[in-house]
Amino acid sequence: MQILDGVAVSAHIKSQLKQEVEQLKANGGKTPHLAAVLVGNNPASEAYVGSKVRTCQELGFDSTLLRFDTDITEAQLLEEVQKLNKDKSIDGILVQLPLPDHISPDVVINNIDPSKDVDGFHPITQGKMLLGQKSFLPATPYGILLMLEHYNIDVTGKHCVVIGRSNIVGTPMTILLSRNANPGNATVTLCHSKTKNLKEITLTADVIVAAIGRPKYVTADMVKEGAIIIDVGINRIADATRKSGTRLVGDVDYEDVAPKSSYITPVPGGVGLMTICGLMKNTLEAAKQH
Ligand code: GUN
């Protein structure tokens, strides 16, 4: 079993990005500038946005964090997005999800300028990706592809089972794994909460991408010997042995599954860090295009 080490891989990618930005600036190019929008004070969202902003600083990107109270209206938030769309200094816009219930994430995402959609959530971005046209890739699936590339894991002809059908992870992951590209050319099955014979299907998987949002959902009895395990989940569970009283676990029962796997991503220290790499690569690309 080999750990797919998000700490090491993301450090490698970030050092490449840092060099590229230095060169871009030295050649008179634009400093990539990411705007992050955070509504409310959900602790997980605070942590994610904080680490995106810190990564910008680390790489020599500019960043702007816009914070709004939970009672901001949808119309007001759309106005703020429009300001960012028009602001020529901004290359990438990310609106951290989830948003409060009175704001439609679809409406907000649809109003982001697709040329600044570095999260890869806009319908135009996802439509282009679906058709195999050049586009930003959704940050998490992009990060997973970067991880597979780094370890020279070829998924051609392999059976990849994606568990979870969200617009931002599961569904785009199935498209990217099955497209005629590298990485790609896998045979893909999409499973979700209503799948009846999940275990039967996962037992035939060469690769499992777990993105269902349920702690320790994938257990060893669901996994074929030698499978590659990509765990997208970030779930906080109670743990009385920790000072904080909680700890993070993935959608995979790591201790149970790891001995059976050929490769596995840990949580934390796996896919989460790769998502930020995907986002940063998209932001650099946006700056080049702008
Ligand atoms: N919420 C959970 N994951 C993400 C992400 O990758 N981007 C944004 N904007 N919100 C999220």
Q: Which domain range does residue 44 map to?
A: 28-113
Does residue 155 sit in the same domain as residue 230?
yes
Please indicate, yes or no, whether residues 267 and 145 belong to a single structural domain of this protein: yes
Answer yes or no: do 146 and 217 share one domain: yes
The answer to whether position 87 is within a domain reads: yes
Per the domain annotation, does 234 fall within a domain? yes
Ligand 1: nearest atom to the Cα of 45: 1
> Residue 230: which CATH number?
3.40.50.720
- Asked whether residue 97 falls in the same domain as residue 152, the answer is no
Contacts of 282 (CB under 8 A, 6+ apart): 92, 118, 119, 120, 136, 137, 139, 142
Tens of pLDDT, residue by residue over 69-80, are: 999 999 999 999
* 91-125 per-position pLDDT tens digit: 999 999 999 999 999 999 999 999 999 999 999 99
- Cα gap 282→137, rounded to integer Å: 8
109 and 143 co-located in one domain: no
- With beta carbons less than 8 A apart as the criterion, state whether 254 and 1 touch: no
User: In the structure, which protein residues have their CB atom closer than 6 angstroms to any atom of ligand 1?
Assistant: 94-97, 119, 139-140, 275
Query: Which tens digit of pLDDT belongs to each residue from 1-17?
Result: 999 999 999 999 999 99
Both 201 and 250 in one domain: the answer is: yes
Out of 96, 167, 171, mutate this one to test ligand 1's pocket (max ligand atoms within 8 Å of CB): namely 96
- CA 279 to CA 261: how far, in whole Å? 28
Tell whether 85 and 165 lie within a shared domain: no
Strand runs labelled E in 81-158: 92-95
From 14, 91, 96, 253, the catalytic residue: 96
289 is catalytic: no
Please indicate, yes or no, if residue 175 is contained in any of the structural domains: yes
Q: What CATH number did the domain enclosing 49 receive?
A: 3.40.50.10860
| pLDDT per residue as tens digits for the range 52-73 | 999 999 999 999 999 999 999 9
